Amino acid sequence: MNKIADIFTSLEYGPAPESADLALAWIDSHDGRFGHFIDGKWTKPGKGFATDNPATGKKLADLTNGSQSDVDAAVKAARGAFPKWSALSGYARAKYLYAIARLVQKHSRLFAVLESLDNGKPIRESRDVDIPLVARHFYHHAGWAQHLERGFPGHVPYGVCGQVIPWNFPLLMLAWKIAPALAAGNTVVLKPAEFTSLTALLFAEICDKAGLPKGVVNIVTGEGETGAAITEHKDVDKVAFTGSTEVGKIIRAATAGSGKGISLELGGKSPYIVFDDADLDSAIEGLVDAIWFNQGQVCCAGSRLLVQESIETRFLDKLKKRMATLRVGDPLDKAVDIGALVAPVQVARVTELVKQGVAEGGTLYEPDVDLPKSGCFLRPALITNVSPANTVASEEIFGPVLVEMSFRTPEEAVALANNTRYGLAATVWTENVNLALDIAPKLKAGVVWVNGTNNFDAAVGFGGYKESGFGREGGKEGMGAYLKPAWEKALKPAPAAKAVAAKPKNPLDGDAGIDRTAKMYIGGKQARPDSGYSRPVLGPDGSLVGEVGDGNRKDIRNAVEAARAAAGWATTTAHNRAQVLYYLAENLDYRAAEFAARIKAQTGEDGTAEVAASVERLFAFAGWADKYDGMVHNPPSRTVAVAMVEPLGVMGILAPPSRPLLGSIALIAPALAMGNTVVLVPSERAPLSVTDLYQVLETSDVPAGVLNIVTGDTATLAKTLAEHDGVDAVWAAANAEISTMVEKASAGNVKQTWTSRGLYYDLADKALFEGDYFLRRATQIKNVWVPYGA
C-alpha cells in the first residue's frame, strides 16, 4: 500500500511494454527478406539493404533496392490496370477503399507495432494517431470515389501516379497519397522511404486481402535512385512527393516540360506564437506535442517558439520544468514520450546543427533525463538567445530541438513568423479570439492552428506556401490534385504564327518619323526601358505599326519590386477589387473602336470581337471576385477548420502570341480578381494592344504596382521572372521550349506554375476559361483550425 501511495505522490509511471511478437512473426513469415509488390504478386528478393530497429540498432529485415527494370515493370502493371480501374463506377471503387479501411482497423495493432519498430516513434503515437488517421483517410475517400462526378464534374484521373513518401509518417503518408489517387480512378506506383518500408509492404498484403485488382497498387522499395526512376518515368502521369525541400526542387526541375501533374509537400520551420494572454499551461502542453511529437521529425513541427516578451521568463521556466518530466526510451513502452530518431545519420545531423547553433551564440538547455545506452536517442533540447540570423532559426533541424525568440507586438510576431523560406504551418496561442483571427490570415502558412497543434483530418487539406511546396493533401483540394479537366487530354499543338515581312518600311517615310515608342508600365507610371533600346512592332505586311521598349532583367526587377510593394491589393475587400475590374471593363469598352483598330493594324484581323470578349472577361472575373471563396470543414474533433482562399502573391504572366488583347486579359483578370499583383509580358509580336491599356489603367483606379507591364523578348523575360525569388508564381502561355525553361527555373524557390507547353488553349472559350480553371490556379488554400466549446 505504501508503494501505491508513493506512486500517487510522485506520479511516476512504470514500464508498460507492448509485445513485438506478432510484428516479428509477420517479418519471419517472409523469411526476413522482401521483394517488391508488383502486379499483385511478390517479386523475388534481390540485392538491397537492411532496415533496422532504430531503438536497438538490430536488423529487422532485408529489403530489395528497386532497379530501373523493377520500376518499368511496376509502371507497366499500373498502366495495364488503369483502363479497367478507371472505368469502374465510383461505387465499385468506394467498396474497395472501404474494405481497405476495415482491414487496416482490423489489423491496427500489428500496423502500430510494426511502425514503431521500424520508425522508432512511441507506440502510443502510432497506435492512437497514425493508424486511426490511416483508416480515416480510406473511409473519407471511399465517399469521394462514389461522389466524384458530383464534386468534380468534367474531370478525369491522370492515369499512373508515381508517389514517393518519407520516413517520418510511413503509413500515414502512404494513405494520404494512395487513398485519393485510387478514389479518382488512378493507379499507383509507390516507393516508401528506405528507412521505413515495412508497413508499406504490410499494406500491400492488405490490398491483396481486399481483392484490389492486380496492378492498381504497386510498392517498389529502394533508395533515392529508385525514387528518381519513378518520378522521371515517361509513363508516369502524376508525381506526388513528400520529403525535403532540396529533393523537391530536384523533382520539379527533372519533370519540367513533361506535362506531368505534380504536387510537393516539403520542409518547414513552423512558428509557435504565444501571446501574453494565453493559457500558459495549455500552451506548454501544446508545445510538447508541437515539437517533441515523433521526436521532432515532423515537417510541420512547431520548431520556432515565439513568446511575447512580457511573459518570456515565466513561460521558459514552466517549459524547462515540463521538459524535465519527458521520458525518453523504448518506443514500445506505452509510458514513453520520446522514442528513437530514425537512424544514426539523423542523430549526427541534429547533433551537428545544435553545436552550430550554440557556436553562433545560442544557449542550450537539455533536461537531465535518462537515455537508453544504445539506439538513436537524443534528449529534448531548447536553444534560447537566438537571433533570426542563427542557422538553427532558419534551417529545418528535424529533431527534438526547439528554438526560442521573443517579440513585443503582434506586428513583430507576424514579421518573425514569416521570416522564413518555408510556409507549411503555424500555431497561435491567445485567449483573445479577435487577436487570433487577426493574426492567422497574416501568417504565410498553409495551415494555422489556434490554441492547438498538429490537428489533422482527411476532410481538411494540408500543404504549404513558398518553399514548403504546393498542392494539398486531404479535403476537396487534395482530392482535386488527382484529377484534371477531361478536355486537357484532347489539346492539340498551337497553330504556327502567320509569317510577316522580314523588314519594316523605312521609319522616316511619311508620318512614321513621329516617335511612337510605348514605354514600360511599372509602379503605376510609364518608364523607359533600362536597355535604352526599342523593338519594332510590324503589321502583317511588314509595315511599322509602332515601337515598344526592349525590356531586360533590371526592368523585371523594378516591376517585381513595384508588385511586392502593392501587396495591400490582397487585403482590399473582394467587393472593391470587383469594382476596379468593372471600372476597367467600362473604360475599355468606351475605347473599343480604338483598341479594335490597333488589333487590326498588328494582326490584320478585325479586332471588334476580341475587344468585346476582353470586356466580357473582365466583367466575368469582377463578378467572381467576391464569390470564389472558402468553406468551413467539420472534422471529428471539437474544432472547425476554416478553408480560406488566398492569393499566391506576385505573379509573372507571359501572354500568348495570338489574340494580343484577350490573351493578356484572360490571364490577368482572374489573377487580379483573387488579389494577386502581376508582372505581365504581353504578346511579343503584338504588344501595342496592352501598352495602349496604360491610360485605361490610370483612369480605372487600379492601384500603382498592381499591374506592371514589361515588353520585350518573351524567352528572355520569362527566364528572369521564373528565376526571381520575389515572384511567387508564373503562368506562361508559350511554346514547349519556353514552358520547360519556366518550369525548370521555377524550382529555385518552388514557384507554382501553369504553362501551355506549346498546346492550343482557346482562351476565347467562355465555358472553359471564365471560371474555376484559372481561379483555382491563382489561389491557395489556408486552413485555420479553431477550437470551440468550453
What residues act catalytically?
265, 299
Strand partners for 189: 162, 218
Query: Assign residue 645 a region: left if phi > 0, alpha if psi is -120 to 50, beta otherwise?
Result: beta
Neighbours of 280 (CB within 10 A): 17
User: Rounded to whole angstroms, how far apart are CA atoms 617 and 438?
Assistant: 33
**What number of H helices and E strands is found in the chain?**
30, 33
CA of 174: how far to CAs of 100, 353, 473, 621, 628, in Å? Answer: 13, 29, 11, 38, 31
Amino acid in the structure at residue 84: K
Query: Grid coordinates in use for 201?
Result: 509492404
Which ranges in 517-634 belong to alpha helices (H)? 553-565, 574-590, 592-603, 608-624
Amino acid in the structure at residue 366: E
239 in Cβ contact with 231 (< 8 Å): yes
Number of residues written out for the chain: 790
Which helix (H) or strand (E) element contains residue 253? helix 245-254
Rounded to 5 degrees, φ, ψ at 744 are: -70, -45
636 in Cβ contact with 139 (< 8 Å): no
User: Rounded to whole angstroms, how far apart are CA atoms 538 and 503?
Assistant: 8
Q: Judging by beta carbons within 10 Å of its beta carbon (0-12, 13-18, 19+), is residue 6 exposed, middle or buried?
A: exposed
CB within 8 A of 563, min separation 6: which ones? Answer: 650, 677, 678, 679, 705, 706, 708, 726
User: Rounded to whole angstroms, how far apart are CA atoms 62 and 182?
Assistant: 29
Contacts of 514-518 spanning 24+ positions with Cβ under 8 A? 516/546, 516/547, 517/546, 517/547, 517/548, 517/549, 518/546, 518/547, 518/548, 518/549, 518/687, 518/688, 518/691, 518/692, 518/694, 518/711
